[in-house]
């Protein structure tokens, strides 16, 4: 039973709340005339008109007099300003480096993808700079326009220090170094975030997670990990390690690789090697690869189907663990293997239903390879909007002191 907020409610708080509402309405609905805004926001016309004047004064809203381009009796239409800063998203993957930009309203302006291949930090940063420069020029923007930056990366990002731990997939990547370099380069402190968490945000905003209060994204690819959305918000955990389901101690708890149950990494091919001795007919030949196995399974190859069945069992264990602990409505499979959901989905569903009395829905991701980028852009947009709003609205009234009270 603590106080909900530090400061008490004063009249200017009302203005702030209502200004935010007006901006939200404009960002959701696009250009509108004043009376329509008043109805959607729920305020009277005079008040709405005053709000709009204030927002126009600080440059957060644009007014257009379209001759009579627009409909009916409207004299002016209003829209959320666009050219007041951009957000930058960067995805540092194991095989690709991607960058994207969006305007202050979250509309994507550009996207750049560069293949990377075993490079050191110096080379990585050079590629990164090139990619960002291209993303900026494609968006007709400059370094100074960047309001916020979100970087997606494998590994656990510590909330306080920004340090990246248990990265694994990218050799000598260090969160502090990276943060400092970016910060120096762009004059903006970047926000580092675990890549799978960003996929979860992407699913929440633009994917299968829309409107779902509790769901998880289980990513099976180079590594194994999950992103959790609980009560409609990303759950990072105490040190940002939520969703590190690799550490659920199945099988021999002291095997550091959890090889008997890990469906990620080389899990699928290892499984095939192990099962090769069972003399089931197959057109598959060694060396097995993830792709060849999945393709054979799609063609109906008996041995490949058996391997996939086993893989599905392993995946189910992790789906079940997540759901047993947090009871999600939906689990979305993603990542290199998770994206091949067509052959995995049904066996996983069947198994999960046997394991749990309250099984979640299980689906394959509806987002493509740039899911991390989409999530990062989403997060960066929210940050930018908050920064710009604070900046502009405080510019109006920052001059009075209190004495008595």
* Residue bearing tokens 């603590």: 2
Binding-site partner at residue 33 among a copy of itself, DNA, none, CB < 5 to 8 Å by type: DNA
24 binds DNA (CB under 7 A): no
User: Given the complex with DNA, which of 61 and 372 has the nearer CB atom?
Assistant: 61
Nearer Cβ to DNA, position 40 or 276?
40
Nearest CA to 165 among 241, 222, 223? Answer: 241
Rounded to the nearest whole angstrom, what is the least distance from the CB of residue 16 to DNA in the complex?
8
Please pick, from the candidates 1, 2, 5, 8, the single residue that binds DNA as defined by CB under 7 A: 8
331 forms bridges with which residues in the sheet?
216, 362
State which residue, 95 or 159, has the beta carbon closest to a copy of itself.
Answer: 159
Tell me the β-bridge partners of 230.
233
Q: Whole-number minimum distance, CB 110 to a copy of itself, in Å?
A: 21
Closer to a copy of itself by Cβ: residue 281 or 403: 403
Bridge partners of residue 152, in order along the sequence: 91, 193
User: Could you tell me the two tokens for 144?
Assistant: 């100074």
CB of 129 to a copy of itself, least distance (A): 31
Question: Shortest Cβ distance from residue 174 to a copy of itself (Å)?
Answer: 17
| CA–CA distance, 59 with 49 (Å, rounded to integer) | 15
User: Residue 50 interacts with DNA (CB under 7 A)?
Assistant: yes
Q: Does 11 bind DNA (CB under 7 A)?
A: yes
Of 20, 31, 40, 47, the one binding DNA by CB under 7 A: 47
CB of 130 to DNA, least distance (A): 47
Cα(35)–Cα(48) distance, integer angstroms = 8
Rank residues 28 and 395 by Cβ distance to a copy of itself and give the closer one. 28
Q: What does the alpha-carbon distance between residue 158 and residue 243 come to, in Å, rounded to a whole number?
A: 14
Instruction: Check residue 68 for interaction with DNA (CB under 7 A).
Output: yes
Are 129 and 185 contacting, i.e. CB atoms less than 8 angstroms apart? yes
Q: How many helices (H) and strands (E) does the chain have?
A: 12, 14
Dist. CA 304–CA 272, nearest whole Å: 8
Count Cβ atoms below 10 Å from residue 5 Cβ, excluding itself: 8
Q: Which is nearer to DNA, 118 or 399 (CB)?
A: 399
* Site for DNA, residues 132 to 191, rule: CB under 7 A: none
Phi then psi for residue 330, to 5 deg, are -145, 140
Q: Does 379 bind DNA (CB under 7 A)?
A: no
Q: What is the length of the chain?
A: 405
State in angstroms the smallest separation of the CB of 26 from DNA: 14
The answer to whether the bond into 243 is cis (omega within 30° of 0) is no
Which residue, 160 or 405, is less far from DNA as judged by CB? Answer: 405
What is d(CA 203, CA 66) in angstroms, rounded to the nearest whole number?
37
Q: Which one of DNA, a copy of itself, none is in contact with 146 (Cβ closer than 5 to 8 A by kind)?
A: none
- 3-state class of 330 per DSSP? strand
Residues of this chain that interact with DNA (CB under 7 A) are 8-12, 14-15, 18, 33-36, 42-47, 49-51, 68, 71-76, 397, 402-405
């Amino acid at each position: 039973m603590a106080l909900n907020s530090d400061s008490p409610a004063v009249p200017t708080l009302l203005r702030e709340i209502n200004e935010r509402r007006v901006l939200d309405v404009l960002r959701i609905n696009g250009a509108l005339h004043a009376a329509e805004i008043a109805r959607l926001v729920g305020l009277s016309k005079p008040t709405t008109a005053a709000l709009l004047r204030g927002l126009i004064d600080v440059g957060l809203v644009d007014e257009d007099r379209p001759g009579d381009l627009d409909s009916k009796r409207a004299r002016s239409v209003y829209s959320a300003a666009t050219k007041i800063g951009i957000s930058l998203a960067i995805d540092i993957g194991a095989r690709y480096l991607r960058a994207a930009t969006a305007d202050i309203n979250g509309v994507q302006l550009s996207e750049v993808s560069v293949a990377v291949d075993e490079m050191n930090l110096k080379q990585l940063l050079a590629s990164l700079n090139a990619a960002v420069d291209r993303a900026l020029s494609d968006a007709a923007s400059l370094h100074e326009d960047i309001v916020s930056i979100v970087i997606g990366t494998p590994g656990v990002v510590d909330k306080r220090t920004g340090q990246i731990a248990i990265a694994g997939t990218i050799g000598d990547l260090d969160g502090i170094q990276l943060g400092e370099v970016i910060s120096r380069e762009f004059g903006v402190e970047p926000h580092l975030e675990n890549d799978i968490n960003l996929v979860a945000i992407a699913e929440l905003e633009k994917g299968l997670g829309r409107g779902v209060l509790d769901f998880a994204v289980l990513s099976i690819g180079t590594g194994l990990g999950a992103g959790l959305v609980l009560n409609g918000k990303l759950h990072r955990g105490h040190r940002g390690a939520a969703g590190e389901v690799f550490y659920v101690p199945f099988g021999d708890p002291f095997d550091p690789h959890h090889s008997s149950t890990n469906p990620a990494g080389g899990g699928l091919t290892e499984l095939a090697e192990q099962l090769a001795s069972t003399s089931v007919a197959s057109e598959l030949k060694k060396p097995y690869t993830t792709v060849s196995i999945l393709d054979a399974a799609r063609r109906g190859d008996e041995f490949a189907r058996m391997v996939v069945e086993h893989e599905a069992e392993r995946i189910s264990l992790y789906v079940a663990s997540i759901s047993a602990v947090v009871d999600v409505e939906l689990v979305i499979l993603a990542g290199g293997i998770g994206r091949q959901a067509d052959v995995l989905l049904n066996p996983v569903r069947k198994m999960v239903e046997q394991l749990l009395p309250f099984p979640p829905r299980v689906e394959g991701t509806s987002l493509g390879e740039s899911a991390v980028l989409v999530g990062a852009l989403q997060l960066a947009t929210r940050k930018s909007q908050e920064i710009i709003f604070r900046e502009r609205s405080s510019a109006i009234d920052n001059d009075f002191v209190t004495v008595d009270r």
